[in-house]
Amino acid sequence: MKKILELTDQRVKSLEKIAESVTDVISNVQNAKDSHESAASVNTVVDLAKQWHQVAVQDAIEKGKKLGYSEACRDISVIMNQILEAVSAERSHLQALMEEVVAAQDVSDPEAKGESSDPLT
């Protein structure tokens, strides 16, 4: 019986060592999992390259929009300058016509020369 008790005691101690080892393994596995999760959450070179590519694409789109707006403004400026020149030319033309009408009126209007329109005076 003594032998059975000794064997049982050795078996209990052996199971305790196995339990300790399993607990250590579980702890190591948990630490490895945490470490790998942490490493996976860090941006890799590929992740950074993808992000940079997205920034570059957005920047190119914005630059394209700005260039398009710039060209549109340049075109509108040319058109507005042409309208301004046309308005100025029309104003000059009307001014010249008005001056001709006033000059013609002065020639044909005897009262403008200080003459009376009454032929008896």
List pLDDT tens digits, range 12-66: 999 999 999 999 999 999 999 999 998 888 888 888 999 999 999 999 999 999 9
- Domain match, 49 and 19 both: no
pLDDT > 90? residue 80: yes
Q: Residue 64's domain spans which residues?
A: 43-106
- Domain match, 48 and 20 both: no
Quick one: pLDDT at residue 106?
77
- Domain match, 52 and 24 both: no
Quick one: pLDDT at residue 2?
87
d(CA 34, CA 37): 5
Q: What are phi and psi of 44, to 5 degrees?
A: -90, 175
Asked if residue 101 is part of any domain, the answer here is yes
